[in-house]
Amino acid sequence: MSSDLELKLYDTLSRDKRTFVPIDPARVRMYVCGPTVYDYAHIGNARPVIVFDVLFRLLRHIYGADHVTYVRNITDVDDKINARAARDFPGLPLNDAIRKVTEKTEQQFHADVDALVCLRPTVEPRATDFVLPRADGKVDMVTLIKQLIARGHAYEAGGEVLFDTTSMPDYGALSGRNLEDQLAGARIAVDAHKKHPSDFVLWKQSTPDEPGWDSPWGRGRPGWHIECSAMSAAYLGEVFDIHGGGLDLIFPHHENEIAQSRCAHGTKVMANYWMHNGFLQVEGEKMSKSLGNFFTIHELLADWPGEVLRLNMLRSHYRQPIDWTVRGLKESSKNWISFGNIVREHMNATAPDQEFLNALADDLNTPVAFARLFELRDLALRGDQSSGQALTASLRFLGFFKNAFSVKMTTSYSPDIKMSPLDFVSNVQNLSGDFEIRDVAEQLSQNLSQAARDFVLKFAVGTTVKKIKSIFPDDASVERLIELDRLRLSARKAKDFKGSDRLRDELANMGIAVKDGKDAKTGELTTSWEVAR
């Protein structure tokens, strides 16, 4: 255990920032609500994944990697999943179709968050594995519901099992809502079988074309909230240290988790610290498919390296709203590359900077932490080796530059080594993003030879990394293109227009459309390339 850091976390329930004191320092326990796996996760879903990955890393640093248990569930029973399964696999029995959908989308989710260099949780339970009593005796949903009924906190009505919110005197403490407030405008007629309009479903009946399990209350399926109460207790116990998730989950999901768990187990709390990350908007507006600004992690990874997305997410404090913009991504990309130029010189560094760690320990204050990293970067660029060491270890603490791919991205960017055209394309191919080639060239301008710069400038504005990759699959294709263009220009200057046109056609077959012109000032022949449509 590291004794040089005092971790403080903002607790949504108590509404203040408190020093973190674990129930058992030898077994620190955290639960975070995970994805509902029916489609690709959007960039808003990435925020809690990245935020709580940073907290997971910090807890492991303080208490030891073997003494922290991080559970993040997978919700694989949901009406959206049912609809997707029926759409994609109409010929299969529903339960089989649902399994196919959730297994595929779970794999997609893992691939995406792996690209964001997030550590895998210690345990990642699937909701459907915790519906019925288990052979290993771990907590399950049906047993929890039985306990709630036995303790007088739940009842059967209208074919459902419902939680009785009036049975819990302090229901609503997390969100600040009380039952009287919730009576206003309640649809009493619609929910006539409920004792109180705010009572929520623990178990509901399933029709023949819906997934279901046999239970004491008939064939049905669990409500959303009971899932997390069961899975958290199964791996972390009746009371644990930290429960996290997005701000949108405070009500009703987390409020109802607290009610179920406390009333089923007879405990005063479910978790000692409740943490919630803020909302994400895109270019100043709420992310929405109707507005055309809805982006999945998968889509963004086609345009930007995962570490750039991660850096961009961490520039804002986790409790504050974040505005996701292309401008911000470009700035994060430049910072990432500038960091990488230093990291490659100090790959053996192991001691993160203390000021950096202090900032993280103050309720994950990543803006202050990155301000310190920028300071270390500037010192390192002026030749301070110790700052370079501290910067490298701090960045790698956050997950950056851990794998060879991201470090390789920067290894040829030394200002004293000029890139050839072939070097330039090789570095471009290491990028996973769809940056414009001119933007990449500007970032690398000091490293480009004149020949490489000419090579880049032959492409029209708007040509991107993705397009470059489609044209230059290997070094030989770069060399061939340069040689063909040299021969074509020679033929044109010699007025061998048939030969010039033949070479132009050969370039077109490689995917390059050639445009010739003259320099307005000098009258010299100029050539530009663009990807053939």
> Could you tell me the fold of the domain covering 282-408?
Isoleucyl-tRNA Synthetase; Domain 1 (1.10.730)
If we measure between CA atoms, which residue out of 474, 397, 58 comes closest to residue 244? 58
The token pair that represents 486 in the structure block: 């040299």
The token pair that represents 301 in the structure block: 């990874």
Q: Could you give the CA distance from residue 491 to residue 296 in angstroms, rounded to a whole number?
A: 49
Q: Could you give the CA distance from residue 180 to residue 166 in angstroms, rounded to a whole number?
A: 11
Residue 493 and residue 518 in contact, taking contact as beta carbons nearer than 8 Å? no
Q: Could you give the CA distance from residue 525 to residue 106 in angstroms, rounded to a whole number?
A: 55
CATH 3.40.50.620, domain 8-277, yes or no: yes
If we measure between CA atoms, which residue out of 379, 371, 373, 380 comes closest to residue 346? 380
Under-50 pLDDT residues of the chain: 184-189, 404-405, 410-417
pLDDT in the model for residue 424: 73
Q: Could you give the CA distance from residue 230 to residue 216 in angstroms, rounded to a whole number?
A: 17
Q: Where are the domains of the chain?
A: 8-277, 282-408, 421-531
pLDDT in the model for residue 430: 59
Say which DSSP state 65 is in: G
Q: Which amino acid is at 56?
A: F
405-436: pLDDT as tens digits: 455 554 444 444 466 677 677 666 656 556 67
pTM greater than 0.95 (yes/no): no
The token pair that represents 35 in the structure block: 């994805």
Residue 399 and residue 118 in contact, taking contact as beta carbons nearer than 8 Å? yes
Q: Could you give the CA distance from residue 464 to residue 454 in angstroms, rounded to a whole number?
A: 16
Cis peptide before 208 (omega within 30 of 0): no
312-329: pLDDT as tens digits: 999 999 999 999 998 899
pLDDT in the model for residue 442: 66
Residue 323: strand pairing partners: 281
